[in-house]
Structure 1
């Protein structure tokens, strides 16, 4: 049986890890905020560190804020690769730049390990109910190695190409004018409204957040609230009197 590592237990990572635990996998978890790891321990996970996850687990998932943090978790002193075993599969589900994915692939390949870039679509609600969509870049054999675990966390997983393809697939929805909601604007609008109201109550100035709320108000007036939050590009297109679109190179 695989031993699964999971690094990054934020808004998305915690419900994704909980869905793995519902399927009774052996799950080793880490987050810089220990309280988040402690919550998962209460559900049956093993609290660990990146280095111990590298030495213990043969499939490792990451769900982190950006590519720099991903590389630190993997390659810094005390990171996963300090003690990683050849043959280990690392699946980065963070939304990062394609060049970050290629960097991770190269360094892991040097250690005899495998890498997938697999950003997700669906936002927190689908992370909670286990219906995320995964866009995966990598080779077929490695993809099928982790596919059962992706299916525990989501409703669809598609291998879209080689290394970096998952990260690229996360980017061109705007170019395709595809605003089908993963995280719809109306949910973001509600959350930002709550933030603005609470900030006003306690006397905290949040000028940029207030500006974002007003942008979403424009989207509401224009009838775009049911679209993906990427649809906010239409607000800026209107200001600039131009449309973001593909160009043949």
Structure 2
């Protein structure tokens, strides 16, 4: 039996795949937007503790580090319902440092822990095509793999606890900086008076081609900024990168710049738009809005 806590934009389709493939899934935080999961066979629970008591594997898909800590260790939380031999899989994107601490606390209860953050956005979640980066023991990874395969396709065991989160932070650095590069390039083309769609098509045939130019570049041209992956959540991930870099005395200047651009986007009301809306923040800063 599986427990799933965190039924947001990403969590809902992930839980749906588990239910649809025959798993008994206990759900917490069921709201009107996720009621369909109960209608399809999911079992609503009144607390995180109840989910943990009734499940062998508990999956978390939550917004940030404090949310994971509260759900795990807060009053009536997951830890209160866990017993030795159970497995927690945290698929949220949170601090690698905190992840190691959470894993140790649960290991002291005889509970296994995997950090398994994902990439691929809402589309990847809906299509069960997420990229999943896993930190934890080989044995726990082998145990979790049949479950993870119901939600993702590119599933990699990166290393020990925290290494999955480290890989996700690295992923978000690359994605964030590339979105910024595409946004700057297409804004440049637009301001110069070129046909932006044709510029993008030309770039797709050269060395600048990327998945982000393909998908997010099209979003920028069409100005379709429904998430997707929200700018405020991506800024959170880059904040994780900045905090970790500071602890290592590591310079990440381009990451810091993109983080600040995302802060500017949030400041002008774009925080709940898809991260491809970063082009709108750049246009605002340049006085180059349509």
Q: Same fold (TM over 0.5)?
A: yes
Note if 1:102 corresponds to 2:108: no
Note if 1:192 corresponds to 2:253: no
Which structure 2 residues correspond to residues 107-186 of structure 1 after superposition, within 5 A?
Answer: 107-173=105-171, 174=173, 179=178, 181=211, 184-186=215-217
Q: Normalising to structure 2: TM-score of the pair? A: 0.64
Which of 62, 65, 71 pairs up with 2:63?
65
2:270 aligned residue = 209
Local SS of the residue matching 2:170: coil
1:56 aligned residue = 54
d(CA) in 2 for partners of 1:214 and 1:136?
A: 29
1:4 aligned residue = 2
d(CA) in 1 for partners of 2:66 and 2:38?
A: 27
1:207 is displaced (CA, Å) by 2.4
2:32 aligned residue = 35
1:35 is displaced (CA, Å) by 2.1
d(CA) in 1 for partners of 2:15 and 2:5?
A: 9
Local SS of the residue matching 1:111: coil
1:85 is displaced (CA, Å) by 1.1
Over 3 Å counting, the alpha-carbon distance change for 1:187 and 1:19 in structure 2 is farther
d(CA) in 2 for partners of 1:110 and 1:17?
A: 28
Unaligned 5+ runs, structure 2: 179-209, 228-266, 286-290
1:214 is displaced (CA, Å) by 7.1
1:84 aligned residue = 82
d(CA) in 2 for partners of 1:120 and 1:12?
A: 10
Q: Deviations over 1:186-205 (max 9, x none)?
A: 476444389xxxxxxxxxxx
1:36 is displaced (CA, Å) by 4.0
Note if 1:45 corresponds to 2:42: yes
1:217 is displaced (CA, Å) by 5.0
Conservation of the 8 A alpha-carbon contact between 1:133 and 1:157 = yes
- State the 4+ residue runs in structure 1 displaced beyond 3 angstroms: 173-184, 186-194, 210-215, 217-220
d(CA) in 1 for partners of 2:177 and 2:280?
A: 21
Over 3 Å counting, the alpha-carbon distance change for 1:172 and 1:7 in structure 2 is same
Structure whose residues are more often helix by fraction: 2
1:184 is displaced (CA, Å) by 4.4
Conservation of the 8 A alpha-carbon contact between 1:29 and 1:37 = no
d(CA) in 1 for partners of 2:43 and 2:176?
A: 43
1:107 is displaced (CA, Å) by 1.0
Local SS of the residue matching 2:150: helix
